[in-house]
Structure 1
Amino acid sequence: MKIENLEVFCLVVEEGSINKAAKKRYLSQPAVSKQIHLLEENYETLLFERNNGKLILTESGKALYPIAKKIVNDYHQSLVIVSQIKNKVKLALNIGASLTIGEYLLPKLLGEFKKNFPQIEITLKIGSTPTILAQLEKDQIHIALVEGEVKGENFKVTKFAQDEPMVVFAAKHKWKNNRNVPLRDVLTEKLIWREENSGIRVLVEEILKQHNLLDQLHVYMEFGSTQAIKGAVEENLGISILSKLAIEKELKEGSLKALPIEGIDFKRNLWVVQKKDYIIQKSVKVFRDFLFQKTYST
């Protein structure tokens, strides 16, 4: 049995078909089928069965997959680590970040990090928290920075900072001289909101639900872009609730104002997520140490 047999097996499981796995691996379907057959001969059991044209894992296949995945991952990590020790490849760092962190927190941090560690080649992928965690699960990134809820027994989760969603409004809005905003006043305004399932919307709606106030929220417009929301609020088309990280520039320039909601704590934690039982590459350790030096964790 070879590593390639396990790699192909894992790919077939993840793609759901021999045809898709063959295309992704640039192999013929018979070649992929042969790899699976070799594994089945080695373990003396079927790993897949067909049900209404669909490829379904057998109980043996289900048991083998997580073990095979770990063996494949460990093998590829060993190649990277040994190559780094031999100085034959540059250090690589693949980061995944949810939208607010990736767009507003990381650019400045990564600029400073790159100045201190120019030998590390950085790739940043930005997406929703579920998308980024799925990429981490599939080893498409080394480390994830997210603000949403993290589920999964395979993840090691550590707080690295905190963010506070705030009520955001135009500089000429009637609240411009307030120190905070009563929730009842927020509920009477036209709210310019992120799309459903965005991290900040889920957080705010969950808190309002706890106070039995969610049905009183008046959503005036929905945008899929924080930048678009800020532009609309600047024009005084309505108010919004946005991450404090996302509006720092506008607050300094004076084009937007922001206040906390009276009596409600919207603070949320920002998380570093890594896979458990994963050999930490030097570049990841260096970045993690740098991140915690520049932010905070309690």
Structure 2
Amino acid sequence: MDIGQLEAFVVLSECLSVTRAAEQLYCTQPAVSIRIKKLEETLNTPLFERLNNRLHLTSQGVVYREYALQILNLLKQSREHMRQFDNPDSGTVNVGASHFCGVWLLPRIMADFKKTFPGVNIRLDISTTEKLSRKLAAHETDFIIISDYIDIDTKKYRLVNFLSDSFVLICPPDHWLAARQECSIREIQDETFLIKPAFSATRSFLLENLRRAGVEPERLRLVEIGSLEGIKQGVVYGLGISVVSRLAVEQEIRSGQIREIKLKEPLFLRGISYAHHRDKLLSPAAQNFLARLPALKS
């Protein structure tokens, strides 16, 4: 088995055409076929099959593709790490982040990082937790940045908390709550409450803590909005109230579009963490990026 065989397998598994695979690999079609045949002989299992004159991955091929991707990604990362030892201002940092972290936290860190290391490229992938977990497992990203309310296997991944994220109650300036400095979450049970739809980690966090505070979510008049930006705009226009991260509404609070009311309950606080493989050697560029995350506290 060699790297050329793995590359041919991955490319062919994506396009399922020997002709197109040869074009992408800049080689002949027989060369692609030979590489695949040798790889199958080494593994002693078929990776492709032809059904109705079309090429398909076998069940073994589907499983092996994940291993091949990890091997090629690790090889690519190892080469880049070696280059960075000679020149720290080079290479690429691959960051995965949840929507909240990617939109409201990381741009500030990225801007600061690029001032010191202008030659390092940053690739920020903002995605769902499920997709981020898959990419982390496949070594397609150096680390991910998520809220600590999201489950992650700490035996496999190192999880480091670097920021506390407090939630506040927000309402329009003309709402009866706007004159209050603080209130109990139980006082809003009869209000229209804006919240993200099902399967949102933030929604789960809010509903669980509402119950802990003695509020039954079933009593609230819920309006589901698919994005935090949509929830903020809903509050601005008087659609309802919500409980959101203060970090996400700082500009609207300063401009007077939204009023914040501190919650008496200490439950609405979550941590923000980064996670990476415990056995992964982070590149110098990735380490320098992570070293800047605590600056978000200031």
TM range (shorter): 0.7 to 0.9
Distance in 2 between residues matched to 1:253 and 1:286, nearest whole Å: 34
1:17-67 deviations in Å (ceiling 9; x for gaps): 8459x6698369876654333122124x21548799974444x985x6676
Per the alignment, residue 179 of structure 1 pairs with: 181
Deviation at 1:9, TM superposition (A): 4.3
- Matched ranges for 1:7-18 at <5 A: 7-9=7-9, 18=16
Per the alignment, residue 163 of structure 1 pairs with: 165
The 1:49–1:245 alpha-carbon spacing in structure 2 relative to 1, beyond 3 Å, is same
2:87 corresponds to 1:93: no
Per the alignment, residue 110 of structure 1 pairs with: 110
2:126 corresponds to 1:126: yes
Deviation at 1:204, TM superposition (A): 0.9
Per the alignment, residue 2 of structure 1 pairs with: 2
CA contact under 8 A between 2:192 and 2:222: conserved in structure 1?
yes
Per the alignment, residue 255 of structure 1 pairs with: 257
Distance in 2 between residues matched to 1:196 and 1:31, nearest whole Å: 49
Superposed CA RMSD in Å reads 3.5
- Matched ranges for 1:104-253 at <5 A: 104-147=104-147, 148-152=149-153, 154-208=156-210, 213-220=216-223, 222-253=224-255
Deviation at 1:128, TM superposition (A): 2.7
2:244 aligned partner, one-letter code: L
Per the alignment, residue 38 of structure 1 pairs with: 38
Instruction: Tell me the matched-pair count.
Output: 289
Deviation at 1:98, TM superposition (A): 1.4
Deviation at 1:199, TM superposition (A): 2.8
1:215 aligned partner, one-letter code: E
- Matched ranges for 1:53-72 at <5 A: 55-58=57-60, 68-72=68-72
Distance in 2 between residues matched to 1:251 and 1:132, nearest whole Å: 31
CA contact under 8 A between 2:173 and 2:259: conserved in structure 1?
yes
CA contact under 8 A between 1:77 and 1:279: conserved in structure 2?
no
2:185 aligned partner, one-letter code: L
Of all paired residues, the percent bearing the same amino acid is 25
Per the alignment, residue 24 of structure 2 pairs with: 26
Per the alignment, residue 79 of structure 1 pairs with: 79
- Structure 1 unaligned residues grouped into runs of 5+: none
Distance in 2 between residues matched to 1:23 and 1:154, nearest whole Å: 35
1:195-249 deviations in Å (ceiling 9; x for gaps): 33233212112334555713223113x3223223222212222111211110111
Distance in 2 between residues matched to 1:258 and 1:23, nearest whole Å: 57
The 1:70–1:237 alpha-carbon spacing in structure 2 relative to 1, beyond 3 Å, is closer
CA contact under 8 A between 1:165 and 1:200: conserved in structure 2?
no
The 1:4–1:209 alpha-carbon spacing in structure 2 relative to 1, beyond 3 Å, is farther
Deviation at 1:176, TM superposition (A): 1.8
The 1:279–1:225 alpha-carbon spacing in structure 2 relative to 1, beyond 3 Å, is same
TM-score (norm: length of structure 1): 0.80
Deviation at 1:180, TM superposition (A): 2.6
1:256 aligned partner, one-letter code: I
Deviation at 1:163, TM superposition (A): 0.7
Bigger mean CA offset, 242-251 vs 78-87? 78-87
SS in 2 for 1:176: helix
CA contact under 8 A between 1:193 and 1:223: conserved in structure 2?
yes
The 1:164–1:34 alpha-carbon spacing in structure 2 relative to 1, beyond 3 Å, is farther
1:146-165 deviations in Å (ceiling 9; x for gaps): 12514245432211111122
Deviation at 1:267, TM superposition (A): 1.0
1:165 aligned partner, one-letter code: F
The 1:33–1:159 alpha-carbon spacing in structure 2 relative to 1, beyond 3 Å, is farther
TM-score (norm: length of structure 2): 0.80
The 1:9–1:202 alpha-carbon spacing in structure 2 relative to 1, beyond 3 Å, is farther
- Structure 2 unaligned residues grouped into runs of 5+: none
1:190 aligned partner, one-letter code: T
CA contact under 8 A between 1:128 and 1:198: conserved in structure 2?
no
Bigger mean CA offset, 123-132 vs 231-240? 123-132
CA contact under 8 A between 1:183 and 1:261: conserved in structure 2?
yes
Bigger mean CA offset, 147-156 vs 191-200? 147-156
